[in-house]
Amino acid sequence: MDKITGKTSFGQWFSPINLPLFEENVKTMKLDYYTKKLTTESLLKLLLFAQLQEIESLHALGDCLFDDQLQKGTDLDSISISQLSRRLNGMNPDIFHRLFLNLVTKIHAKTHYTKLVMPLKVIDSSTLPLNLTNHPWAKFRKTKAGVKLHLRLVFMEKGTSNPEKAVMTSAKEHDRGQLEVLVDDKDCMYVFDRGYLDYERFDRMTDDGYFFLSKLRKNAVIREIYDFKLPENSPVLSDQMVLIGTTQNRAENYFRLLKVVDTKGNELHLLTNRFDPDQLIC
């Protein structure tokens, strides 16, 4: 592999990567066999460049290689769209998965929760569209294909965050089915959108000692049990103990419902199973 120095942009981007381990994985997985030009390292550099520069297509990425500095950094003077496409098509995704896990391990080794009483772990999903003709196995609508990335982010001290766990599913699978996989730590507070709404799962999380905060649909059926007194000048509109759901589909536990206004003036209904008297979530 080519030498990467810390003085170059690519050297700085690669600095957190365990290069000996990366090279060993490339060799073990035989990713560069019969590859003369677009090596795994060069491809990773191009992908990093495309991500950081928000390059929108392979055509645009190929055009960027007219830049002398990019050519020098990637050791490529040119590359065709078909070459890029074939290399991406044949690339074993395990190399990126291993790279991701190694970086997460390094972040954990340097992270200490000394000030946060309970760290936040945010769960969210993104649908990545695919060409239906080339990926019929990923069909989720009549004319569309795609996969869904479920990502768990840890929010740490000083406003920093890092990805901790990623799960890939077909786009047609519902978000809420992934809570079983992504909720596994009782020493944190989980935050997720209403796509993960599942009353039965909320009951199990509460019974098992997992804390969460989720958006609740405004048309959700609730029964008010108690109104908590709000401090003066509170940004919270209301703070209540409630039961949620209908007779046919309801949760057994009591939950806390907070109504707040976001920065755009929209009213949000937030459901949680934390009732700490000194903790007002907003």
Residue 248 and residue 200: Cα distance in Å, rounded? 12
* Domain end marker among 196, 217, 233: 196
Q: How much is the pLDDT for 135?
A: 86
Say if residue 155 is in the same domain as residue 184.
yes
Query: Which of 172, 196, 220 is a domain's end point?
Result: 196
Domain assignment present for residue 81? The answer is yes
| pLDDT grade for 278, boundaries at 50, 70 and 90 | low
Predicted confidence band of residue 6 (pLDDT cuts 50, 70, 90): very low
Are residue 180 and residue 221 in the same domain, yes or no? Answer: no
Contact (CB, 8 A) for 62 and 74? no
Are both 217 and 243 inside the same structural domain?
yes
Pair 149, 214 in one domain = no
Q: How long a stretch of residues is the chain?
A: 282
Q: What is the DSSP letter of 142?
A: T
pLDDT exceeds 50 at position 63: yes
pLDDT tens for each residue of 186-208: 988 999 998 898 999 999 999 99
Share of the chain above pLDDT 90, in %: 30
Whether residues 182 and 144 share a domain: the answer is: yes
Q: Where is the domain boundary, 196, 220, 249?
A: 196
Q: Which pLDDT does position 4 carry in this prediction?
A: 42
pLDDT for 169 beyond 70? yes
In a domain, 201, yes or no: no
Note whether residue 140 is domain-resident.
yes
Burial (CB < 10 A; 0-12, 13-18, 19+), residue 13, is middle
Judged against a pLDDT cut of 80, whether residue 255 lies above it is answered with yes
Which range has the worst mean pLDDT, 44-58, 162-176, 246-260?
Answer: 44-58
* Same-domain pairing of 134 and 189: yes
pLDDT at residue 213, as a whole number? 94
* Full residue range of the structural domain in which residue 47 is found: 9-97
Residues 131 and 88 in one domain: no
User: What is the Cα–Cα distance from 46 to 78, expressed in whole angstroms?
Assistant: 12
Higher pLDDT, 279 or 25: 25
Nearest C-alpha neighbor of 124 from the set 156, 149, 159: 149
The reported pLDDT for the residue numbered 163 is 85
Span 147-164, average pLDDT: 82
Question: Averaged over 155-171, what is the pLDDT?
Answer: 81
**Distance from CA of residue 224 to its chain's centroid?**
34
Please check whether residue 245 lies inside any domain of the structure.
yes
For the chain, the average pLDDT equals 84
Residues 36 and 73 grouped into a single domain: yes
Closest CA to 84 of 47, 128, 133: 47
Let me know if residue 109 belongs to a domain.
Answer: no
pLDDT at residue 13 above 80?
Answer: no
In a domain, 37, yes or no: yes
For the chain, give the percent of residues with pLDDT over 70. Answer: 89
Burial 66-105, CB ≥16 within 10 A → b, else e: eeeebeebbebeebeeeebeebeeebeeebeebbeebebe
Alpha helix segments (H runs only) across the chain: 9-14, 19-28, 40-52, 58-64, 68-74, 81-90, 94-110, 179-182, 199-208
Q: What are phi and psi of 258, to 5 degrees?
A: -115, 135
Domain co-membership, 189 together with 220: no
Please report whether residue 125 resides in a domain.
Answer: yes
Q: Are residues 130 and 90 in the same domain?
A: no
The reply to whether the predicted model has a pTM over 0.75 is no
Q: From the CB of residue 21, how many other CB atoms can be counted at a distance below 10 Å? A: 12
Looking at the fold, whether 63 and 122 belong to one and the same domain comes out as: no
**What is the count of structural domains for the chain?**
3
Is there a single domain that holds both residue 65 and residue 24? yes
Is 103 within the bounds of a domain?
no
